[in-house]
Amino acid sequence: MKYNRILLKLSGEALMGDRQYGIDPKRLAEYAAEIKQIHDKGVQIAIVIGGGNIFRGVAGASNGMDRVQGDYMGMLATVINGMALQGALEDAGMQTRLQTALKIEAIAEPYIKRRAVRHLEKNRIVIFGAGTGNPYFTTDTAAVLRGIEVDCDVILKGTRVDGVYDSDPEKNADAVKYDHITFDDVLSKGLNIMDTTAFTLSQENKLPIIVFDMNKQGNLLKVCEGATVGTTVNI
């Protein structure tokens, strides 16, 4: 396998499957099966999930809600998603730990870097919930931050498109896909991969990002094996 330790970033919306909101158990089971493939190969796996299928702080703020309050609600949504994924992974026979940036001792461990690394070394899948624990920071930023802290080799951003394009492929049939692109080119072309804070943090720490289609069976394994699947962003 090309990568020993990875940070998998999933969007909350991905967990909806064909639903309009919430969590689709079928999609959870599909993701658990994909993750099990690389887990059985010995890849150490950390995961960050968004909460957009349940609540978005930005959306709440746009409707008059206090932004800080909304962001904390969004953090709790990521914990719900983390618990759901944890259950699906354990049903598939994997050991997991859920760590949260907010203290919720009844359901999760508090995030402690050394403990997280030890879990990874024991081949437990570590799910990081509640973002960074701070408002105004996205789960993209949390994913990059945790990836750096626990010394991951790469950020794997699982999406519903198969990479980075020069325009939205869902709106433009002539959009051109990049197999490889540099951080500087992403910025100069104004491509939207992650929010600026997350992207800059990844660039400064030379942590590559691979954007790929998580919904295509076998793609996660191919990425970890080093196949050209999706788009690689690096120096």
Q: Which residues are annotated as a binding site?
A: 9-12, 51-52, 56, 71, 132-139, 159, 165, 168
* 235 in a structural domain: no
Report d(CA 88, CA 21) in Å as an integer. Answer: 18
In the chain, the number of structural domains is 1
Which CATH number do you get for residue 146?
3.40.1160.10
pLDDT in tens, 15-39: 998 888 899 999 999 999 999 999 9
Q: Which residues are annotated as a binding site for ATP?
A: 9-12, 52, 56, 159, 165, 168
Buried-exposed string 133-153: b where 16+ CB fall within 10 A, e elsewhere: bebebbbbbbbbbbbbebebb
Q: How confident is the model at residue 197 (pLDDT cuts 50, 70, 90)?
A: very high
| Burial class of residue 71 in the structure, from the number of CB atoms within 10 Å of its CB (0-12 exposed, 13-18 middle, 19+ buried) | buried
* 102 in a structural domain: yes
* 89 in a structural domain: yes
Domain, as residue range, for 27: 5-230
Query: Global pTM?
Result: 0.93
Q: Where are the beta strands (DSSP E) in the chain?
A: 5-10, 44-49, 96-100, 109-110, 125-129, 154-159, 164-165, 177-178, 180-182, 209-213, 231-234
